[in-house]
A and B are shown apart, each in its own frame.
Chain A
Amino acid sequence: MLGFAACSKSPQTDKLVITGSSTIAPLMAEIGKRFEQTHPGVRVDVQTGGSSRGIADARQGVADIGMASRALKEDENDLYAFAIAQDGICIILHQENPIANLSDEQVVAIYTGKINNWKDAGGNDAPITVVNKAEGRSTLELFLHYFKLKNTDIKADVIIGDNQQGIKTVAGNPDAIGYVSIGSAEYDATHGVPIKLLPIGGVAASIENVKNGAFPLSRPLNLVTKTAPEGLAKQLIEFAQSESVHDIIREQYFVPIAR
């Protein structure tokens, strides 16, 4: 009975539904929790389903806010996008690997199996262990998109799930090549894990370069709404863009946006 009363009494926006990108969802869930703490009676409901669902749900009004881990496309200009963080991915090698630089063409050749020994890329005479991400990961999508590859073209020796598994695999194998989120790679590399981050397109892989937009392999994490946000949705978006959630963003290895 109490539940019924509460429901019928306040049908306004006490509940915010947020759907979309599985990259942003864990981050938004944490931000939502903190938002709930400072706004008693508010519930933030975060559901995943991919960036396309986030866009579609926001447009149809199924969700109050959509999540899209990419920039809006041209035909999506009717929507409002609010970037809450940046995500970048970088190529990592073992520290002992003498290679300091790989061109985009070399990376493509390695991942498609055209080069399978490091000596063909200017390194030691050793077979390359290619580390790829499992199907459906957004890191994989961004990687494929940047290097204009299809996942079926990739000849991998190891397939991994999350960033940590990728870093441990490369750290344990001097002949491995992998790609992971820059945030986690930079943290581990500066904390004694024997990996190194390769530059892409001549730009050093660092959180700094993601932040200032110089690093090519990066993308914005966007919150999307159909109309100019107001009320609770506006409060939540402003909260997600504020400095008070930067610690959560860093914890999840994303890059807060400088203002």
Chain B
Amino acid sequence: MSPSRVDQIFVWLLRGLAALAGSVLVLIVMFLIIESIPALQHVGFARFFTDSSWHPAAKAAEGFYNLVPMLAGTLFAMAGSVLLATPLGILSALFCHYYAPPIIARQYRRVIELLAGIPSVVYGFWGLVVLVPLLRHIEPSGLSLLAGIIILTIMILPTVALMADAAMANVPQHYLQGAAALGLSRWAILRGVVFPASKAGLFTGVILATGRAIGETMAILMVCGNIVQTPKNLFEPIRTLTANIALEMAYALGDHRTALFFSGVLLMAMIIALVGLAEHLVKGKIYG
């Protein structure tokens, strides 16, 4: 077999695998949409945003299906945690890469990796028995948006930190040497050379972390109180869309069940919109 033939087989193999990965996503989205069609027919699109509350019933006419408070809950929890985790994660990577002595850096990296591997239900349990009782001293009952944001921040911090760490490791050594030869201070090198050169990696880390923050279910379910309401401050309980699906899916019938599938479609749409927005913001240049 000629080398070009081997190449061709390999290329088609890769194309096949890529198509497979892509079609899984398409199949999931299609499944969600098909399952939620009855909800759109019986309840209607508008009622998911205009009904007075979320008190679903198996028959569309008997229930209320407002998803807006849960959408808001999801967005607030996500935004809060990403805003906290992004600077912390990037600072952590900077420390690890440019300030810490090698021995400490290695240990520190191991700790962050370990943090990334802890199952979310463990974070949730810790939140429920340690964090929530602490917050209760500030404002009862402690189960709140703030608890959710703190837990989510701890959970997505390793993602940001590890991605930033990898991105900084990829900054070519001669960039740094060149900058140092110009007599720049360490902070000036970081700001003027390292950040621009590792921008793509930092950004990818934040996107991955945001996705995880939107999708997180178990830990959020345990610490957020799960009251369906738009929170007026950080100390009020919230329910996220994912927590709602986890709480109700096993017991939902008829239109209630399909409404939950529709909330799944909304989640999917949010994530797609997020990635789209991110791509647009950097106009595709960042990965170039």
Contact = CB atoms under 8 A, between A and B. Distances in A.
A236 to B, nearest CB: 24
Contact of B247 (A129, A159, A175): A159
B227 A159 contact: yes
Interface stretch (B90-98, B139-147, B192-200, B276-284): B139-147
Contact of B128 (A127, A161, A168): A168
B225 interface: yes
Interface string A120-131: 000000110100
Given A129-B141, A135-B251, A151-B55, A157 B129 contact: no
A232 to B, nearest CB: 28
Interface of B: 53, 55-56, 128-129, 132-133, 136, 140-143, 221-222, 225-228, 237, 239, 246-248, 250-253, 256
Given A156-B227, A172-B132, A176-B141, A134 B53 contact: no
A222 interface: no
B142 A173 contact: yes
Given A157-B141, A173-B136, 6 more contacts: A134-B226, A134-B247, A157-B143, A157-B227, A173-B142, A175-B140
Contacts of A49: 253
B141 A168 contact: no
Given A135-B251, A173-B136, A161 B246 contact: yes
Given A22-B251, A158-B141, A173-B136, A135 B55 contact: yes
A39 B253 CA distance: 33
A165 B128 CA distance: 9
Nearest to B129: A172
| Residue among A48, A50, A136, A173 with max Cβ neighbours from chain B (10 Å) | A136
Contacts of B251: 22, 134-137
A129 B140 contact: yes
B248 A135 contact: yes
A165 B129 CA distance: 11
Given A157-B225, A159-B225, A159-B247, A136 B256 contact: yes
Nearest to A158: B225
A173 B250 CA distance: 28
A56 interface: no
